[in-house]
Amino acid sequence: MIIAIAGGGSTFTPGIVKSIALRKDELGVDEIRLYDINKERQDKVAVVVKWILDEELHSGIKLTVTNDKKEAYTDASFVFAQMRVGLYAMRESDEKIPLKHGCVGQETCGCGGLAYGMRTIFPMIELIDDVEKYAKNDYWILNYSNPASIVSEACNKLRPNARIINICDMPIAIIDLVAAALEIKDKKNIVYDYFGLNHFGWFTNIEYKGESIMEPLKAYIKEHEILLPASYLKGKESLTSTSNNTNRHAKGSWYYVWKGVYEILENFPEYIPNTYLNYYLQSKEFVEHSNVEYTRANEVMNSREKNLFDGIDNYLKTGKIDEKVFYAGSHGDWIADLAIALKNDTKARFLVIVENKGALPNMPYDAMVEVPAYIGKDGPEVISQKPIPLFQQGLMMQQLNSEKLLVEGCIEGSYEKVLQSFTLNKTVPSMTVAKAILDDMIEANKGFWPELK
């Protein structure tokens, strides 16, 4: 059984591979193939991957490293997709251009997310076509490629029959910190209900061993004025620095994101918000504590990226490797466990991005929504949710229509529709600002975006 990883040069690849190898028997995996168009980067990451498979875990799993799509996908059962079109140079552009115009600069939210989506739509469609051509007939593409909401909308529109499941690890990262805050050790006994779009949703209930923990959780957040474990708060200075931390979602500018959970709950206390809602509900405040000269792209380049590649260079010189140089955790576990559920028909519960089809009764039928589902060999069996309150529904419709207009504009090459998408986005204060940002982004994305007329 073959698992291909598209975007094999990602800093997340070692952690994903480790999660696969630790589940070798459940997955029945014989070979892992890394595929990337950036040979130099992938060859370096492959050094750590080979060490994990051969030296750390003695897995017996064959490793193939290739820049040839046919070699990568032929007879693959699973393709884990994690492409980043334009790498971190373009992420930096996505974040800094909106900030220059006084708007939120973030890689998946606001104008930055729209720009990133425009770069990713057609490469993702190409990936689907390649996998369809070469992989096994019953293949599954499990997609982490961001911005997942826009990517899933485009895939559903252009390749509606593709065997693809779009996922995101942010809700799981939130649950990890909820468990740590409430000192829950066996987080697998946590079950939650959730509705939204990707990076735009709410936890309506969180249970531990059948008992709701929403009230204790809200009390904890109110007491500490943040959703971070008490152990993290003992050294607040380290949280707001860009140095290493045990959790990649809890350092540097992430501090304000977790602080924002408390601030949102003070005004809208019914549901626990996905942290990304801060960028929409507190866009002014997030612009104020952002640094246009040093955004999260810079934080990542100077921490996770630098640490991994410095660690690889050190290993090549000394033969010694520090496992701390690569991230391993829920990100890799989530996608590997999803593959297990599909392969073994376990009906395990996951949060996935799917076509609505009535799962959220007062949202459009064709909306790509993020909801819980049971996963078996035939894909997701969605767990329907109650009708969404007007406030959340209004926010979701604005975001959904912004994303739909972007996808339509990208496919049609329509400047007007893309401008409408930017104008409609809640992070943008006016049509004039939307146009200024879009025009700057067209210039920055030459060679990546389709021509807009």
Apex 155 CA angle, 154 and 159, nearest 5: 125
Separation CA 101–CA 439 (nearest Å): 12
Q: Is 276 a catalytic residue?
A: yes
Residue 389 CB neighbour total at 10 angstroms = 13
Element (H, E) at 350: strand 348-355
Contact 166, 353 (CB under 8 A): yes
For residues 51-68, one letter each, b for 16 or more C-beta atoms within 10 angstroms of the residue's C-beta and e for the rest, the string is bbbeeeeebebebebbbe
> Taking the C-alpha atoms of 277, 379, 157 and 404 in order, what is their torsion angle to the nearest 10 degrees?
-10
Q: Are 400 and 200 in contact (CB under 8 A)?
A: no
Alpha helices (H) along 268-345: 278-281, 283-288, 296-300, 306-318, 330-344
Strand, helix or coil for residue 272? strand
Q: Of 144, 148, 219, 208, nearest to 175 (Cα)?
A: 208
Q: Which member of 116, 276, 279, 327 is catalytic? A: 276
Catalytic residue among 169, 176, 333, 440: 169
- Reading the block at residue 68, the tokens are 């040839």
With beta carbons less than 8 A apart as the criterion, state whether 16 and 328 touch: no
Catalytic residues, by residue number, are: 169, 276
